[in-house]
């Protein structure tokens, strides 16, 4: 599961860098507009990473909670 999240984060970062690079190379805009577009791309990547992190954290917290709950196994057997 961690590998899937790591792959997503890596893909998001690579996609963001690639997108920003292509924008710089092929967009006939002013420097100020270009910086603004790059900042938007960076914010989008950060939002994607934060969403993936939050989803993974929720999964791990749920798994931890299920492990903390006492098991029903063996509770019907008296210890005397």
pLDDT, one tens digit for every residue, the chain (80 residues):
678 888 888 888 888 888 878 877 787 777 788 788 889 988 998 898 899 899 999 999 999 998 898 765 555 555 55
Report how far apart, in Å, the C-alpha atoms of 65 and of each of 26, 28, 57, 59, 68 are: 50, 53, 12, 10, 5
Q: Is residue 40 part of a domain?
A: yes
- pTM of the entire predicted model: 0.50
Confidence at residue 75, expressed as pLDDT on a 0 to 100 scale: 55
- Give the total number of structural domains in the chain: 1
DSSP code at position 80: -
Inside any domain, residue 53 = yes
- The confidence score (pLDDT) of residue 80 equals 53
In this prediction, residue 27 carries a pLDDT of: 72
Would you state the pLDDT for residue 69?
Answer: 86
Query: Per the domain annotation, does 54 fall within a domain?
Result: yes
């Amino acid at each position: 599961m961690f590998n899937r999240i790591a792959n997503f984060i890596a893909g998001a970062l690579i996609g963001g860098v690639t997108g920003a690079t292509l924008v710089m190379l092929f967009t006939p805009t002013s420097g100020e507009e270009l910086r603004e577009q790059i900042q938007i791309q960076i914010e989008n990547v950060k939002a994607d990473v934060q969403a993936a992190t939050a989803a993974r954290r929720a999964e791990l917290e749920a798994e931890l909670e299920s492990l903390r709950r006492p098991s029903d196994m063996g509770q019907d057997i008296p210890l005397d």
